[in-house]
Every structure is written in structure tokens, then in C-alpha cells.
């Protein structure tokens, strides 16, 4: 099964039964798979008129009680940006996969990239936080989609699967466990008296329980700055409360959210920090470097946002260099440089133009870092 299909299967396994989408290479296969599977499982696929409509219909469907997902790639991802802000502001749980392709603009539609890593974090206007996970294989496309749904429900936030064309179109065996072995977090439905319901609670730690339209709460929600009732409250103080909550409910739980994978970091001189397909390319370089006697470790970011700041700070104090291969002109490396704060060298290994790295480039960077 390829990564794109695994995304759809992961969504179905997580209980998602609504998918409004718009075709775009190289993510289309996910929409196709979901459309194919819907009639078997009582789900609904609707191909909307554009990506803006797709993402907005998904937000609407969440408030109608559904778990939802959509997939897209660069150009569509850009179009969805405004609504991601709405979803964050309304605290709407949803999952979006970006099967990254080479930009800018139409770019190289069929070739791979990791160029939207900063866009996913900052792309919509205003201050907010999202969660972004990066799979390195079709199996992880499946597993992380389920995890994304769980995180979305816990924190009432859009969660992004930042995969890429290579993983999206990569075929590997995907093991789908029996339903009873899959951990699924259901929506935190409000249970108290109707008149006491408040859609929001700006406590900076947890998300308020939800209700759905049609259950008699007659609630209101808006993209405007709002109070606990969801009513517009257009004051600087209120905005500060809301924004602080949107950020803190993620930041204060970062330790619980962040997942990384480590190999041979203890005593390493150089650590390669990477994510997604780049980390699989890096493995080849790491093996070669180890064969050459270099003490090199690997840190794979499964969760890229929120960022594992503490881990990088500690790492920077203990290694000579951090090597960061990415399929872009240097994006997550900026965050690593910020956290390393001059304590070690940070070497960016860029790859643009739609091709994955030649492992030799990464090896050269490892050697450069080790010799310092």
C-alpha cells in the first residue's frame, strides 16, 4: 500500500467518516481511496469546488459532529491557510495531510519536497499553534493519522500530517491492526446542564468539551475574538486571553505531544536531526560515517511542531555539530539554530529541485561536523 492510501485507511480506522476534498497531485490518491471506501463504511466523500471550500466544509462538518480529514499539496495548502486560522480560533479538531511537492507556485507537481514545514506553522495570519507530525513510511502514514485524530480531539486543534510525494507514492507493506487494538480518542462531549454550556474555556491547559449543532444547546461560535460563550468580545484583553490559551494549550502539553526517535545519540560527536523521508536518506549516510569511525547519532522528529526545544538545547551542549538534511532551502534548521544558540555547529544540508539528497552530501556534512 502506498502512503497516500495509508492516510485514508488511517482516517477510516480513527473513525473519520467525512472527507471534503479537492484533487491535487500528489495527494489525490488519498481522496480517491476515501471515495472508494465510503459506501462500504457509511462515510461521505464530497469533492468540493476548490480547496477553500473543502477545508471550510470540513470545519462545518466537525461542528455537525463528525471526525473529518482532508488532504492536499502546496497550492491547495496555501488556499486553505485562512480557514486553518478559523479552525484554530474556533478550536476545531480536524486532520489535514499535506503531501508536499516542490514549489513555489505550481513548481514541480510530481516531485518531492519538505518545503511547507514553516508554512504549516506560520502560514495563517495571527498567533496560534498547531500540531504537525511527519511520517517516514506508509506504515507511519497509517499510524500517525490515527494519532493525529487523537491529538486533534484532545486539544481541539487542527493536526497536520506533513508527508511528501516520496512517502505518499512509496509502496510498502502496511499492517492494519484489528480495530480493538487501535487506541482511539473520542470527542470530549459536554454532558452537563444545557444552560451551563460554554464552548470555550481559556485555561491554557485543556480544551473545553464540545457539543454539536442540533443537540439543543443553541450555541454560537465565530472567528472573531470571543468570550467563553463564543460571543464576539472585541477587546485587547479578550484577544490576549484567547491567543494565550491557543498557544499555551499546546505549549504546556508539548512534552506529552512530542514524539521523536533516537539512535546512538549518547556519546556522539555529530547528530543528524531530520524528519520524514530525509531521515531515511540520512540513515545511509550515518551508516557510512559509522563505518568510517565517526561517532554519529540520529534524532528523527516524528512531531515537528510543537518543536522539541529542550531536546535540541541539551543536544547542542553535548555534541560538536548537528547536521540537518531537509528537502528545502533550510527551514526547520532555523528552529534548531535558535535552540542550539551557538552551543554547537548547525550544518544545514539543503536539497531543492524535487530530488532527495544524495547520501554523500549528508556524509560530507557529518565529516565536516566531526572534524571541527
Residues in the site for other proteins, rule: CB under 8 A? 17-18, 20, 25, 38-44, 46, 48-50, 52-54, 56-66, 68, 82-83, 85-86, 109-111, 166, 169-173, 212-224, 231-232, 277, 280-281, 283-284, 356, 359
- Residue nearer to other proteins on the CB measure, 234 or 293: 234
- Residue nearer to other proteins on the CB measure, 57 or 346: 57
Rounded to an integer, what distance in angstroms lies between the CA atom of residue 127 and that of residue 107? 28
- Residue nearer to other proteins on the CB measure, 125 or 183: 125
CA quadruple 21, 27, 28, 29: dihedral positive or negative? negative
Task: State the nearest-atom distance from the C-beta of 122 to other proteins, in Å.
Answer: 18
| Cis ω for the linkage preceding 301 (within 30 of 0) | no
Task: State the nearest-atom distance from the C-beta of 63 to other proteins, in Å.
Answer: 6
Task: State the nearest-atom distance from the C-beta of 252 to other proteins, in Å.
Answer: 28
Task: State the nearest-atom distance from the C-beta of 17 to other proteins, in Å.
Answer: 8
Segment (H or E) for 81: helix 74-89
Beta bridge partners of 298: 263, 272
Determine the 3-state secondary structure of 297 from DSSP. strand
Rounded to an integer, what distance in angstroms lies between the CA atom of residue 318 and that of residue 258? 21
User: Cell numbers of 66, please?
Assistant: 463528525
- Residue nearer to other proteins on the CB measure, 87 or 344: 87
- Residue nearer to other proteins on the CB measure, 171 or 317: 171
Rounded to an integer, what distance in angstroms lies between the CA atom of residue 292 and that of residue 353? 30
Task: State the nearest-atom distance from the C-beta of 202 to other proteins, in Å.
Answer: 18
**φ/ψ of residue 22, rounded to 5:** -145, 130
Residue 56: partners with Cβ closer than 8 Å, 6 or more residues away: 83, 86
Task: State the nearest-atom distance from the C-beta of 238 to other proteins, in Å.
Answer: 15
- Residue nearer to other proteins on the CB measure, 49 or 237: 49
Task: State the nearest-atom distance from the C-beta of 316 to other proteins, in Å.
Answer: 26
User: Cell numbers of 20, please?
Assistant: 471534503
| CA 200 vs CA 66, 89, 219: distances in Å | 19, 10, 11
- Residue nearer to other proteins on the CB measure, 25 or 350: 25
| CA 188 vs CA 70, 207, 250, 269: distances in Å | 22, 9, 17, 46
Q: What is the CA angle 292-297-299, rounded to 5?
A: 145
Amino acid at each position: 500500500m502506498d502512503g497516500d492510501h495509508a492516510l485514508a485507511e488511517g482516517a477510516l480506522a480513527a473513525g473519520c467518516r467525512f472527507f471534503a476534498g479537492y484533487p491535487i497531485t500528489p495527494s489525490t490518491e488519498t481522496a480517491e481511496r476515501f471515495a472508494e471506501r465510503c459506501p462500504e463504511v457509511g462515510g461521505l466523500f464530497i469533492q468540493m469546488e476548490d480547496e477553500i471550500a473543502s477545508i471550510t466544509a470540513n470545519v462545518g462538518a466537525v461542528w455537525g459532529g463528525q471526525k473529518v480529514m482532508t488532504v492536499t499539496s502546496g497550492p491547495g495548502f496555501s488556499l486553505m491557510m485562512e480557514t486553518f486560522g478559523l479552525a484554530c480560533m474556533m478550536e476545531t479538531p480536524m486532520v489535514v495531510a499535506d503531501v508536499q511537492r516542490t514549489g513555489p507556485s505550481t513548481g514541480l507537481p510530481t516531485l518531492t519536497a519538505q518545503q511547507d514545514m514553516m508554512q504549516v506553522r506560520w502560514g495563517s495570519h495571527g498567533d496560534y499553534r498547531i500540531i504537525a507530525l511527519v511520517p517516514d513510511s506508509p506504515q507511519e502514514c497509517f499510524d500517525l493519522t490515527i494519532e493525529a485524530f487523537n491529538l486533534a480531539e484532545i486539544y481541539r486543534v487542527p493536526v497536520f500530517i506533513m508527508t511528501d510525494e516520496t512517502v505518499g507514492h512509496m509502496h510498502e507493506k502496511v499492517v492494519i491492526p484489528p480495530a480493538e487494538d487501535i487506541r482511539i480518542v473520542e470527542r470530549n462531549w459536554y454532558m452537563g446542564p444545557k444552560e451551563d454550556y460554554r464552548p470555550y474555556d481559556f485555561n491554557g491547559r485543556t480544551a473545553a468539551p464540545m457539543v454539536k449543532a442540533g443537540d439543543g444547546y443553541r450555541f454560537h461560535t465565530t472567528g472573531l475574538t470571543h468570550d467563553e460563550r463564543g460571543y464576539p468580545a472585541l477587546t485587547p484583553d479578550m484577544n490576549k486571553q484567547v491567543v494565550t490559551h491557543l498557544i499555551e494549550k499546546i505549549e504546556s502539553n508539548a512534552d506529552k505531544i512530542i514524539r521523536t526517535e533516537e539512535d546512538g545519540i549518547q556519546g556522539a560527536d555529530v547528530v543528524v536531526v531530520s524528519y520524514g523521508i530525509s531521515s531515511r536518506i540520512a540513515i545511509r549516510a550515518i551508516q557510512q560515517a559509522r563505518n568510517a569511525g565517526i561517532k554519529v547519532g540520529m534524532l528523527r522528529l516524528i512531531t515537528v511542531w510543537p518543536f522539541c526545544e529542550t531536546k535540541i538545547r541539551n543536544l547542542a551542549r553535548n555534541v560538536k555539530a548537528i547536521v540537518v538534511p531537509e528537502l528545502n532551502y533550510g527551514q526547520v534548521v532555523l528552529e534548531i539554530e535558535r535552540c542550539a544558540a551557538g552551543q554547537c555547529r548547525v550544518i544545514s544540508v539543503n536539497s531543492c529541485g524535487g530530488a532527495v539528497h544524495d547520501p554523500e552530501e549528508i556524509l560530507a556534512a557529518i565529516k565536516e561536523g566531526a572534524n571541527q
